[in-house]
Structure 1
Amino acid sequence: MEIVAFLAENGPWSWIVAGLVLLALELIVPGGFLVWLGIAGILTGLLTLFQPLPWAVQWAVFGALSLVSILVWLRFSRRRRARDDAGLLNRRTDRFIGHEAVLETPIRDGYGRLALGDTIWRIAGPDLPAGQRIRIVGADGAVLRVEAA
């Protein structure tokens, strides 16, 4: 009963301490969700520090803040993951598909070379003169397939 009396007297501080404990646990336990529960606990403590609330309302506020913070994080992380180009990691040629460039040297007998960034790539396509604008349409291994743009 002494614990319940202590929590009743120090409600806001118990929420803040519980939030800090959850944040500390996030350092030990992997998962990434205890951060949001810890933040919700701290915010609940700060809210009850300035506006005393009954215990049932405090738990409801904690639950709502937890759900909102987790949902906001999920939406943010999914949007960030969609923009990430890690899917093209170790597939450098796929990054250039659709890219347009101008030939510095002609394509002869179906093969030539093209400088893209800091790399000179071998290209394959129809015979084209230097100065021709080309579009990269695919790749066969480390050889970029091109066509006239």
Structure 2
Amino acid sequence: MASMEGISALIAQFGPWLWFALAVILFVMESIVPGVHFVWFGLSASIVGVIGLTTPLAWEWQLIAFALIAMVTVFWVRQKSREESAHPDVADLNLRGAQYIGRIVTIEDAIVNGRGKVRVGDTVWVAKGEDGPKGANVKVTGADGTVLVVSRI
């Protein structure tokens, strides 16, 4: 029972500032340890500190609030990260040709018999599409591997 009295005395002496100190320690640990582990516990300690400033709670309830808030934040973040990893922001990240669909580009080498070259920025791409003279503008409508599909505009 001496440890329970010690915890009560410690929390009574420092109050919510003990939670803020714990939050700072956890945030410092987060900056040292790779990954995202301690930030959610630090956030939980900060929230319990704010609750302690506004509402007097027994230390047992403060510990319960800390545990519940920590579990909720960790669960929420894990769910969000699963959702984001299931739907990447850039689906065509490694499909460079697909990134150019919809852009207007200039024919570099005349498109003859459906084949030619177009300039996209500082890169020349092989293109297929309707025949067109050098210097004409065309629109990228698709990509077939490393070949851009173009149409006249």
Please report the TM-score for the alignment, with normalisation by the length of structure 2. 0.70
CA RMSD of aligned residues (A): 3.2
Q: Does the 8 Å CA contact 2:16/2:49 hold for their aligned counterparts?
A: yes
How big is the shift at 1:24?
Answer: 1.0
Higher mean alpha-carbon deviation, 21-30 vs 80-89, is at 80-89
SS in 1 for 2:111: coil
Q: Does the 8 Å CA contact 2:98/2:142 hold for their aligned counterparts?
A: no
Unaligned runs of 5+ in 1: none
Matched residue count:
145
Q: What percentage of aligned pairs have identical amino acids? A: 28
- Alignment of structure 1 residues 55-134 onto 2, 5 Å: 55-74=59-78, 82=87, 84-85=89-90, 88-89=93-94, 91-96=95-100, 98-99=101-102, 101=104, 104=107, 106-125=110-129, 127-130=130-133, 133-134=138-139
1:46 aligns with 2:60: no
The structure with the largest strand share of the pair is 2
Alpha-carbon distance in 2 for matches of 1:30, 1:133: 48
SS in 1 for 2:104: strand
SS in 1 for 2:112: coil
SS in 2 for 1:66: helix
Describe the superposition over 1:92-138 as per-residue Cα deviations: whole angstroms up to 9, x where unpaired.
22322x4253664641133222233343322123x423457544322
Alpha-carbon distance in 1 for matches of 2:12, 2:36: 30
Please report the TM-score for the alignment, with normalisation by the length of structure 1. 0.71
Q: Pick one of 21, 26, 33 that aligns with 1:22.
A: 26
